[in-house]
Every structure is written in C-alpha cells, then in structure tokens.
Amino acid sequence: MTAIFKTSTRALLILSVSLSVLSAAALSAGAARGGGPEVAHFTLANGLEMVVVPDHRTPVVTHMTWYRVGSADETPGKSGLAHFLEHLMFKGTAKNPEGKFSQTVATLGGQENAFTTADYTGYFQRIAREHLETMMQFEADRMTGLVLSDDNVRPELKVVLEEWNMRVGNSPDARLGEQIAASLYLNHPYGRPVIGWRHEIETLDREDALAFYRRFYTPNNAVVVIAGDVTADEVKALAEKTFAKVPRVADTAPRLRAQEPPPAAPRTVMLADPRVAQPSLQRSYLVPSYATSKKDAEALEVLSHILGSGSTSRLYRALVVDQRVATNTGAYYQGSSLDASRFGVYAVPQPGVTFKTAETALDEVIADIVKSGVTAEELERAKTRMIADAVYAQDNQAALARWYGVALTTGSTVEDVLAWPDRIRAVTADAVRDAARTWLDRRRSVTGYLVKELPEEKRS
Amino acid sequence: MTAHMPIRSADRLPKIIARALLGASLLVAMAAPAAATKIERVRSPGGIEVWLVQETTVPLIAMDFAFRGGASQDPADKAGVASLVAGMIDEGAGDLDSKTFHERLESKAIELSFTANRDHFTGSLRTLTENKDAAFEMMRLALNAPRLDAADLERIRSETLGILRRESTNPDNMASLRWWETAFAGHPYGRPVRGTLDSVSTITAQDMRAYMKGVFARDTLKVGIVGNIDGATAAALVDKVFGALPAKATLRKVAPADPQGLGRVIAIDFDVQQSVVMMGGVGIPRKDPDFMAAFLVNHILGGGAFSSRLYREVREVRGLAYSIYSTLVPLDSAALFMTATATRGESAKQTLDVVAKEIRRLAESGPTEEELAKAKSYQKGSFALRFDTSTKIAAQLVQIQIDDLGIDYIDKRNDLVEAVTLADVQRVAKRLLDGGMLVTMVGRPQPAPAKGG
C-alpha cells in the first residue's frame, strides 16, 4: 500500500526526503488489531463495495471513491487515458453541471482531490460529517452521469500537458524513472508512465475518455471508503439513498494484464540532462507484490526496512557513515500492486565518487544480507517500527481510508489490512534472507544513472 | 504504484510556496474551531506553559514546540546554521553516539523531528504512550546535550550540500531563491533558509552552539501536547525537556521590512519545457485588523479551492497551467502576498497577463457579495479539518500561541470570519492587491522550437 499525495515520481520522493522519513512500513501498514477501530465492510446490491472506518474524535469525514482501473488497464496507444479521465470527472453531469460539485465542496468548507495510479483511480472529499450525504449524492451521480463536450475537454488536455511539463518535462529524475520502469517491464503495462507518453496524451479526446469511462466506471467496479465520525449503520442508510441507486452499466472483467517473462538480464539506463547538478543512481528489481505473493511481500517489506530505511539501515551505515561514498542512500518496496511490483535501492554519490564505487558498495551490502542474513536485533527493531506505524495510522482517518482503498483495489482484503501487523510480526530472519537471495538478483533489475552528460563512447 | 501518482490539482501548497512559507503563520489563519478540541492551559512547576489536549482514543502522544528565531538568526555570512542545527541535534546526544541514538529511537518507534523556518526553530515528537518517558528523555538530550561530533557534522553537511546541488537547477527553487534575495536584499529574509553551497561549507560546530545558546530558551518557547496524557504528567515531562534551558533568549534584532523591487520582472533564462513564475508583493500582517478580510480576499483570488478566480481563469478556461494559487505569507518581520504558477514557455506572457488582470480586477471592483459569502462559508466549514489528527492539533496549539491569538481563539475564530463585511473585503482587496509585485520567472518565455519528451 502506498503513499498517495504530492510526489510525481518515486525517484523524486526518495531523493528528496530526509532520512528516516521514508519508511517502507509507513507506506504499507494497516490498522493494528485491538484498540483499532471496528471496520465495517459490505457490498450493495449493485456490486459497489463499501468500507466504513469509524473515528469519532473530530466531526469530520473522509469520503473516498475508488475505481478498480488505472493506467495499466489502458489500451496500448492510449497511455494517459485513465489519468485524463480523472481530470475530466470534474466536468459535470446533466444533473450537476460543470463546477457545481467543486463549488459545493468549497462552499461547505470541504477539501477535495483525485489521483490516478497504475491500478486504481480515486476521488475524495474531506468535509464536516453533516455533509456526507451531499458528497455521496454527487459522487454517485458522476459515477455514470458524466457529460463531456469538446469545449471543456480540450482546455483540460492542455492542463494535463502542463502537468506533464511540471512532473516529467521539467524533471530529469522523473524522466529517468520512466526509462527505468519501461526497461524493467518488458511486457507488462506497468512499464508505461501513469501520466502517459506525451505523444499519446496529445491525441486523447472526448470519445476516448467516454469509452473508457463507460467501460470502467460502474458501481460494481468501485469501492467507497468512508472514515471519520460516522457509524456503519448511518453509512448504510445513506448509501441506500445514493450509491445504491446507481445502476450497473458494465460488467467487470478480470484484470488480466500481460505478465512479465522471467527476467534474464541486468539492464542499465543512463539519462543525461544538462540540468543535473547532483548525479544519482537508482535500481529497481522486479519482485512479487502482496497480491501475487503475500509471504514474499511481507519479507520484502521487512527487508526494505532493514536494508534501507533511515540512518540505522544497512545501506546508510555502509555507504554514508562508514565508507563515505554517498551522501544519501536507501531502499523501498512498493508492495501494493495487482501484478509484479518493484523493490528499489538508490544512492547519491559523494562528489568525486564514481558510480562504480558507490554501486560496488551497495552491491556488497546486499550480498552480505544474502550470505549472512540479518541479526535478531535488526529484525526486532524493524518490526517494532513497522507495527507502531499501524498504531500511528489510527490517528489519521485520511491515511486509514487510503490504506483500505489501496488494499481493495490491488487485490488485498480488509482482513489482510487488519492482519498486517501480526503477519509482519511473524516474519523470520530466514525469510528476510531468503527474500534477498531470491529477489535481489541483478538479472531481475534495471539500474539507472542520472548524469549531466553522457560519457564519451569509444567507437570501434 | 506510488511511482507515478498524478493527481488532479497540484499540492494545495506546492513546494515553491511551501518554501516561501517557511516561517509563515498561515496555519492558524486557516484553522478553525473543532467542537471536540478542548484545550487546557497547564503551567509546569518550572514555569513553562503548555497547551494540552487530552485525547485517549489512540495510544499515542504528540508534542510540538517552537522557539522564536529561525534562520533569521543565522550570521549574515553563515546562512543555513539554524537548518543544520535542526539536522544535527538528533545525531547523537549525551552519552549516545549517533548510531546508538537512532537505534534507541527506532527500537521504541519514537519520532523526533526538527525544522528551522525563517522565524522559528520548531520540533516535534511522536511516541506510543507506553514509551513516553523514553521519548521525552530523547528529546531532552537532543535539545540540551547534542554532541555535534565532527564525523556526523561532515555527514549531514554533505547530505545538505547534495540537496542544495540538486535544487540549484530546479526551476522552482531558482525562482524562489531569486525572489527572496531580490525582495529582501541585505535583510535576513533574503538569505536561503538552508544556506548556500558556500555558506554551508563553512559552518562549524561552534556556529551551531552559538545559535542554540541564543535561541533555545524558555522565554520564547511555545509548547503544545496532544494525546493520552494528563496535565501533571505533561508538566513534569516538559520541565524535564526544557527546564534546564536558559530563561531568556538572546536574539539578533530582525528589522521590519517590505519587499523591494515591486514592479520588476526578473527573467532567468533556463532551458526547461515549462516556465516557473513566482510573484510577490506586500501582504497584511497577522496582527493587522484587516488580516481576516485579506485572508478571505486571497481565498477568492487564488486560495485553496477549485473555485478561485485564478484557478478558473488560468486553468479551467484557458488550460494555461496545472498549478496556480495565491497565498498570504505573514512573517514576523514582513507581510507578503504571493502567487505562483508554471506554464509552457510560449504561454508565459499570456499567463502573466491573465494573473495581473485578475489581480487588478479584484483590486478595482472587489469581491462580490456571493463570493464573500462562499469564502466565509468555506472558511467556517473547513475548520475542523485542521484538527483531525493529533499531530495537526499539536501544530495548531503552537501556532495559535506564536500568533498570540488567545486560548479561546478556536471558539472565536468563526465569529471573526463572519464579522468581515463586503466593505471590508472591497477595501482590503485594494490595499492587498494594488501595490505591485516583484516577479521572478525561470524558463524560456520565448516561443521555443518544438521538442520531444
């Protein structure tokens, strides 16, 4: 399960956060058992799933509507369509013309936004509890009632291209990230950028958006998560008046994407941009996700923590403290995806230190875990930290809502989220070593280098 | 797939302004009452005042605090001292070297963090209730006995330099740095909070100790605690953490200042696809009777909703930008009004014109009655969203104290919003928006040859 806001690319996120902020566990914890809220989960007659996470401390709610569709569900040649449609979902319906929903949210003092990833698309409002029904009405209405015209689609395409300029065009880190993903996934659509390839975004139009909408936006493909000052019974009653009235407009198909062949060769990519003032390297390994192998995922989660979370981690101790070959380094694991996911490591070399030196040091750290495993103390510390994150999460209704939404749109269940702390507790040192041995294999990886200019080639 | 997470709107406070905001008292202005938030004023035996919200649902405790005197206390040739102090005081303290210190924090899942903004040095703590004694002890060590060992200083310094190098070619950072150094030339606000590659290279442990000696003191300290803890326990823990600090801070005086260069447009030529534009002028101080009216005017112009005039005219209607907003930045020694956006090179001029026109239109004609009503409604309605996590509440408790708004501010705040009249916002729109702006722009504003990705 993943963090949702603000950063365009993982690479940027990692390279810019200060140490110990990016805890893999923090991105993936679930609510702890005991003491945590009583989570309700039910399905309406039209197939819409609902999750209610009560938090009665403040009279507000977080209302999130998730669709089981993301960029990995796009037709080849139409990359960026899931995200473009997300923008267009704010263009109104017959009942609520353009601007009415957002105006209402603003007038009622709510906050709203939306997001798209490879596997899901989500919309949310955070608002005083008494306005929940109004939000549900609007969201139910736009689930199947979207009306688009070229007059509002065309300016929005420009907005999306500006978003591309900001996130990708202006960011060498992001462009390297795109190259790494495209090289890592030889066959699976995760290799495409969520925002799309620019030349394809430019061709998207109203008909594309509506066709995609009709195919994927239907109650039986949606999950509504409501966290905050409500009870399950209240939500059920409100749902009968709102979401329950939305007819199914499409059948959902199994989300079968083209899968990856067994990876056979280490790959490297190098992105040069004159604006790169600080070189860096990052590597992604193709690994299981929670959806493809829960047991592997849990071990990888703990491994990423011990290997590269914060200044007590193996990578930081070795590369930054002891050998002083890097100014920053770390590891992360993206466990929440429907198909095979990514485990990442990165390093920012000290000035004057070559990529080769930094990378050798990094490889030695990984090799050591593969060979000798992790200590009991490291394991315990990592688990304590990760499990505590599940408690801290109970303090944040919006974060809880996101976790359930992510889980239910990426092949996990409410029970999985609830059991997560216990399952992490059960991970053994052997399992962590085995995960490193099995999955952190160079042949499964792409290493990317961000440089100011390409080195001169020797021509033969 | 966090790797790519396009969202519809930019961060409501995108990084360019978030950076500008370092030190701003915005939080409170945007805050509002939460029915459930009951604040106790606790005075510790040692004489430290703590604002406490007892909250027993979740087994954790959050504390926030602030000392006056952030980066504005850096010596003129040593920009970045305060920031480096924030990065160093949890790198070993007392008998614990950096490694042991971090391991101890992690083994109990205790979170400490420190930040220097322009006007304040702030810290926060989060712990499971069961570990509270250990957590406050770690905070005590960090504030009272940081080691600043040479090897750790070099390590944190090189990490900071790495970040500064990276930011040196980031158009957002470039626009922001140039704006501040131009608007506040010769003033502490003109210096980058995190310092420069040159200044950070020269900072010594002695500089950091001098900073701490002057700034870490009880008389400017503001503390807020939220969680499963009673007043007496909170008081005792606070005495332990802060009780041994000097009674009085020794601060360099920071002269009140107005931004300079209004009316100028500084274009920095840089080969990027999208030009970043930052504009700023004179704002309204937090203590000014017109502040709330200005806050509503800003909301109408470019505040945090999908319905502001700038959002509509620049983004929705013309598709010129993905991110467009304005904000008030009331610092201790200057009050600013800022707006920022980013647009493809060939649209830079058009975008600037649209923004300028909207600002002029609002200054001349003022908001409409309906806009005012909606803005008030938004501000009143969104109050509680600022209070829905312990860490947010703790931050609010500190900000309300910094802004000296009174412990009953949360209860009064919506009445203050309601009391603003149409005449107020019309007058204040003129005052706020009529003064001209300094513009910094980074990119290639001229039509550029078409380029692939």
pLDDT tens for B408-446 read: 999 999 999 999 999 999 999 999 998 899 999 999 876
The region of weakest confidence among A30-39, A208-217, A430-439 is A30-39
Report how far residue A19's alpha carbon sits from residue A313's, in angstroms, rounded to the nearest whole number: 10
Binary contact (B103, A13; C-beta < 8 A) = no
> By the 8 A CB rule, do B218 and B47 touch?
yes
Binary contact (B2, A8; C-beta < 8 A) = no
Residue of A nearest to B90 (CA): A311
Determine how β-strand A121-128 pairs with β-strand A111-116.
antiparallel
Report how far residue A357's alpha carbon sits from residue A252's, in angstroms, rounded to the nearest whole number: 50
| pLDDT score for B70 | 96
Binary contact (B5, A20; C-beta < 8 A) = no
Q: What's the pTM value of the predicted model, to 2 decimals?
A: 0.90
| pLDDT score for A201 | 98
pLDDT over 80 at A317, yes or no = yes
> By the 8 A CB rule, do B62 and B392 touch?
no
Q: Residue A317: which of B223, B403, B316, B97 has the closest Cα?
A: B97
Question: What 8-state DSSP symbol labels residue B96?
Answer: B
Interface A-B: count of C-beta contacts within 8 A? 278
The region of weakest confidence among A245-254, A407-416, B305-314 is B305-314
Of chain B residues 174-213, which have a CB less than 8 A from chain A?
none
Choose from A170, A306, A337 for mutation: most chain B CBs within 10 A: A170
Provide the CA B92 distance to its chain's centre, in angstroms: 27
Binary contact (B4, A109; C-beta < 8 A) = no
Report how far residue B431's alpha carbon sits from residue B328's, in angstroms, rounded to the nearest whole number: 13
B168 touches chain A (CB under 8 A): yes
**Residue among B8, B106, B304 whose CB faces A87 most closely:** B8
> By the 8 A CB rule, do A95 and A141 touch?
yes
Contacts of A131 in chain B (CB under 8 A): 381
Binary contact (A103, B98; C-beta < 8 A) = no
> By the 8 A CB rule, do B336 and B329 touch?
yes
The arithmetic mean of pLDDT across residues A374-380, rounded, is 97
pLDDT over 50 at A1, yes or no = no
Virtual torsion, Cα B249, B251, B253, B257, nearest 10 deg: -90
Contacts of A185 in chain B (CB under 8 A): none
Report how far residue A114's alpha carbon sits from residue A125's, in angstroms, rounded to the nearest whole number: 9
Percent of chain A exceeding pLDDT 90 equals 89
Which tokens in the block code for residue A1? 């399960």
Question: What 8-state DSSP symbol labels residue B256?
Answer: -
DSSP result, B210-254? HHHHHH--STT-EEEEEES--HHHHHHHHHHHHTTS-SS------
Q: Residue A81: which of A153, A145, A146, A139 has the closest Cα?
A: A153
Binary contact (A158, B384; C-beta < 8 A) = no
Question: What 8-state DSSP symbol labels residue A25?
Answer: G
Of chain B residues 4-63, which have a CB less than 8 A from chain A?
4-12, 34-37, 55, 57-60, 62
A451 touches chain B (CB under 8 A): no
Which tokens in the block code for residue B60? 């954790």
pLDDT over 70 at A453, yes or no = yes
Binary contact (B4, A103; C-beta < 8 A) = no
Binary contact (B106, A384; C-beta < 8 A) = yes
pLDDT over 70 at B9, yes or no = no
Helix (H) or strand (E) holding A111, with range, is strand A111-116
Contacts of A23 in chain B (CB under 8 A): none
Of chain A residues 355-414, which have a CB less than 8 A from chain B?
380-381, 384-385, 387-389, 391-392, 394-398
CA angle, A77 then A78 then A81, to 5°: 165
| pLDDT score for A18 | 24
**Residue among B5, B319, B377 whose CB faces A7 most closely:** B5
Choose from A83, A165, A378 for mutation: most chain B CBs within 10 A: A165
**Residue among A128, A310, A395 whose CB faces B389 most closely:** A395
pLDDT over 60 at B306, yes or no = yes
Determine how β-strand A222-228 pairs with β-strand A49-54.
parallel
Binary contact (A117, B5; C-beta < 8 A) = yes
**Residue among B109, B273, B387 whose CB faces A388 most closely:** B109
Q: Residue B280: which of B349, B343, B321, B331 has the closest Cα?
A: B331
> By the 8 A CB rule, do B351 and B343 touch?
yes
Q: Classify the phi-psi angles of B318: left when phi > 0, otherwise alpha if psi is within -120 to 50, otherwise beta.
A: alpha
Report how far residue B216's alpha carbon sits from residue A27's, in angstroms, rounded to the nearest whole number: 34
Greater model confidence, B6 or A171: A171
Which tokens in the block code for residue B424? 């107020």
| pLDDT score for A4 | 27
Greater model confidence, A6 or B230: B230
Known catalytic membership, residue A234: no
**Residue among B6, B159, B270 whose CB faces A116 most closely:** B6
Label residue B452 by pLDDT band (50, 70, 90): very low
The arithmetic mean of pLDDT across residues A214-226, rounded, is 98
**Residue among B107, B161, B317 whose CB faces A384 most closely:** B107
| pLDDT score for B384 | 86
pLDDT over 60 at B1, yes or no = no
CA-based end-to-end distance of chain B: 22
Which burial class, exposed, middle or buried, applies to A215 when counting CB atoms under 10 A from its CB (0-12, 13-18, 19+)?
A: middle
Helix (H) or strand (E) holding A357, with range, is helix A355-372
| pLDDT score for A457 | 75
| pLDDT score for B113 | 97
Contacts of A337 in chain B (CB under 8 A): 1
Residue of B nearest to A2 (CA): B2
Of the candidates A49, A74, A86, A301, the residue annotated as catalytic is A86
| pLDDT score for B34 | 46
Binary contact (B2, A334; C-beta < 8 A) = yes
pLDDT over 80 at B17, yes or no = no
The arithmetic mean of pLDDT across residues B143-169, rounded, is 96
Binary contact (B378, A15; C-beta < 8 A) = no
Report how far residue B305's alpha carbon sits from residue B382's, in angstroms, rounded to the nearest whole number: 11
Place of tokens 């795109």: A178
Q: Residue A99: which of B274, B413, B444, B315 has the closest Cα?
A: B315
> By the 8 A CB rule, do B126 and B391 touch?
yes
| pLDDT score for B383 | 84
B313 touches chain A (CB under 8 A): no
Report how far residue A215's alpha carbon sits from residue A207's, in angstroms, rounded to the nearest whole number: 12
The residues near A280 (Cβ < 8 Å, ≥ 6 apart) are A15, A173, A346, A347, A348, A349, A449, A450
Residue of A nearest to B153 (CA): A321
- Half-sphere exposure for A349 (CA within 13 Å, toward CB): 20
pLDDT over 50 at B81, yes or no = yes
pLDDT over 90 at B203, yes or no = yes
Report how far residue A110's alpha carbon sits from residue A123's, in angstroms, rounded to the nearest whole number: 13
| pLDDT score for A456 | 83
B228 touches chain A (CB under 8 A): no
Binary contact (B166, A275; C-beta < 8 A) = no
Label residue B451 by pLDDT band (50, 70, 90): very low
Distances (CA, A) of B34 to B141, B393, B395: 34, 10, 14
Report how far residue A433's alpha carbon sits from residue A303's, in angstroms, rounded to the nearest whole number: 8
Binary contact (A194, B55; C-beta < 8 A) = no
Report how far residue A340's alpha carbon sits from residue A357's, in angstroms, rounded to the nearest whole number: 30
Percent of chain B exceeding pLDDT 90 equals 85
| pLDDT score for A16 | 25
pLDDT over 80 at A33, yes or no = no
Report how far residue A400's alpha carbon sits from residue A390's, in angstroms, rounded to the nearest whole number: 9
Q: Residue B234: which of B447, B2, B43 has the closest Cα?
A: B43
pLDDT over 60 at B13, yes or no = no
The arithmetic mean of pLDDT across residues B248-265, rounded, is 97
pLDDT over 50 at B55, yes or no = yes
Determine how β-strand B49-54 pairs with β-strand B222-227.
parallel
Contacts of A69 in chain B (CB under 8 A): none
Instruction: Output the average pLDDT for chain B.
Output: 90
Contacts of A27 in chain B (CB under 8 A): 2
pLDDT over 70 at A460, yes or no = no
Label residue B3 by pLDDT band (50, 70, 90): very low
Place of tokens 């995806």: A337
Cross-strand pairs, B339: B279, B326
pLDDT over 70 at A203, yes or no = yes
Binary contact (B59, A391; C-beta < 8 A) = yes
B390 touches chain A (CB under 8 A): yes
